[in-house]
Structure 1
């Protein structure tokens, strides 16, 4: 009887805390009752709605602004829109790397949101400050806008692009971090969270391509940008208000880092010759392999094998039981993982 009571108390204690490697805002083990789940999600979903509203409110009518207000020809306007869309698509790769390796998701979302807001503020000011407006108010017909307006407008656009780069890879993942996968009740709530997440995303998109575009076409561009700026500012305040309710993950390093390490190590040893016997390449002993499995050497992409060549300095480190520099020496398994990834590139391209 005592044993059953003791077991029950231990189980209750385990349920009280969240043991999934997350921490609270003080860096301690999170208390389940006061962190995560819906109490945290309600502070996260509004900023996603706001970001999608802003992005589609700007991008949907961007080519119209470039042709009618800045008076670019259609080819130049289309080219500028494509450049901006391309940068906006690529920047999230950088944001994801920085979040995984250094900042963490919350910090990345917060700073990218502030950067996003700065871009929106600049965009709004370009419509209201007389010296930044496309044309002087004393001119009746404007066929060529001021150069300063073009500079400020495109600077604001690319600041928004950078801000989007922190949102896309981090915000949804941060929302998922608020639910423990091994807890049945939270796992069910997590599925519901993604449903509401997509609902908010679609609402932001819908309002952006209807209400905001209507204001731009029939009221004024300045008012539409002002609405977007206020919306983003309010969502940032809401997001910060939930700081004490969030569960955080400590940065563990980006999956891209081992890949970069293999390339750097191979480049450093580009003038060396690979041994004819693959067994002479570096690999950790099976007894030291904690998780995963070792991959066998293959002959494909032989240049990358140079990353696993053991130099004299590496031998000394082994004797002195020092850790090897991962930017100078990679295991055969890491090299093979990179090879497997590169072999999928033709599939991506087709």
Structure 2
């Protein structure tokens, strides 16, 4: 009888373990739609360290007569914006939002992520408009076929899109990290953070794939969007495409997060 009782106890414990394990797996699968709809955000984020830098290299980067700003240095505006606005978010935005929502966090994690996606959309619209102006300046100055010449356009025109990316990170990137850490069981939190980091790896890979596909398609039409001579390229078209993708993606995110 003791052996039978022991076997029954072990079988019961195994059943409970399997049930708990299945519930954890189902919990992880429920996070997948959020993961999938946020990949486009990281695809857009990868442009700040690639094409934005190439654009900045074509502009007037002199401050005074002695200092020339390195084009990659503009990325510091993203970090400075994050450092500046995280305290603003915690000390001003959250208390103000708390008065309306009655939530201790001000807004939910999903609302925070969605706000970041909207800010990324605004950043891409601004980037497209600035690039269109840069191309217009190259034509007006007669420098279309002189890609190494500095255009008569200040690099400060590009600062707003970097600041918007930083604001987007304050909402979306931190919100995603918090979401994937909080919405998994304690024993799977390392896996939740892996989900978060994996989004950026997949996003950068898809960015390379999308650029290669568009480059091949537009070359057949006679003019690649990503010509080595940026004055003959059409990065503005690419940015409008990304803005359209993030707009559709933000709508899909809202629908999936509402379920």
List runs of 5+ in structure 1 lacking aligned partners: 1-6, 19-31, 249-350
Change (3 A) 1:162 1:172: same
Paired residue secondary structure (1:215): coil
In the other structure, the counterpart of 1:77 is: 69
Paired residue secondary structure (1:69): coil
Change (3 A) 1:229 1:57: farther
Paired residue secondary structure (1:226): helix
Paired residue secondary structure (2:234): helix
Q: Structure 2 matches for 1:149-188, cutoff 5 A?
A: 152-181=157-186
In the other structure, the counterpart of 2:228 is: 217
Paired residue secondary structure (2:38): helix
Which structure features the higher share of helix residues?
2
Task: Provide the aligned length of Structure 1 versus Structure 2.
Answer: 216
Alignment partner of 1:56 out of 36, 41, 49? 49
CA RMSD of the aligned region, Å? 4.9
In the other structure, the counterpart of 1:121 is: 125
Q: Scaled by the length of structure 2, what TM-score is found?
A: 0.57
CA contact (8 A) 1:116 1:159 kept: yes
Paired residue secondary structure (1:217): coil
In the other structure, the counterpart of 2:219 is: none
Change (3 A) 1:165 1:171: same
Q: Structure 2 matches for 1:85-96, cutoff 5 A?
A: 85-91=78-84, 93-94=86-87
Paired residue secondary structure (2:77): helix
Paired residue secondary structure (2:186): coil
The structure number with the bigger radius of gyration is 1
Greater RCO (CA < 8 Å, at least 6 residues apart): 2
Deviation sequence 1:176-228 (CA, Å, 0-9, x none):
4443336xxx769647635743531552686799999x926345586224324
